[in-house]
Structure 1
Amino acid sequence: MPTINQLIRNPRVALTVKSKSPALENSPQKRGVCTRVYTTTPKKPNSALRKVAKVRLTNGFEVISYIGGEGHNLQEHSVV
């Protein structure tokens, strides 16, 4: 337990919050261009073929995003 003088000399430092999705830059969505559309399998213990796309965002980041719903018409160079 620090003394009052110690707290005056060296105040408590708040923890910095690290973003879980830095590529979005605090935006709800971002626009980008599909660079690859493919299926992948999830981690254990789940099993399926998940439809995903590698997307190059307008800010330069490249992210893997999930394609929801039944069926899609996305292909390479699609703007999403």
Structure 2
Amino acid sequence: MPTINQLIRSPRSKQIKRNKVPALENCPQKRGVCTRVYTTTPKKPNSALRKVARVKL
């Protein structure tokens, strides 16, 4: 826990909100092209064959 003087000298930095999908910025529907359709297995505690499509926007 910083002291008041420490906070005055260097205030807390704001959290930067980064977009996970910048290609879909303000466009909920956008046309794309499927580059690859395949199945993959999920990480450790889960198990299944998940259908995945690689899309070029």
Q: What interval of TM-score do these two structures reach, taking the shorter chain for normalisation?
A: 0.5 to 0.7
Whether 2:53 is the aligned partner of 1:32: answer: no
TM-score, normalization: structure 2? 0.64
Matches within 5 A, 1:1-80: 1=4, 2=8, 14-57=14-57
Identity among equivalent positions (%) equals: 71
Runs (5+) with no aligned partner, structure 2: none
Distance in 2, Cα, partners of 1:17 & 1:55: 24
Runs (5+) with no aligned partner, structure 1: 7-11, 58-80
TM-score, normalization: structure 1? 0.49
Counterpart of 2:17, as a letter, is V
Distance in 2, Cα, partners of 1:44 & 1:15: 30
- State the secondary structure of the residue aligned to 2:38: strand
Counterpart of 1:49, as a letter, is L
Q: CA deviation at 1:40?
A: 0.6
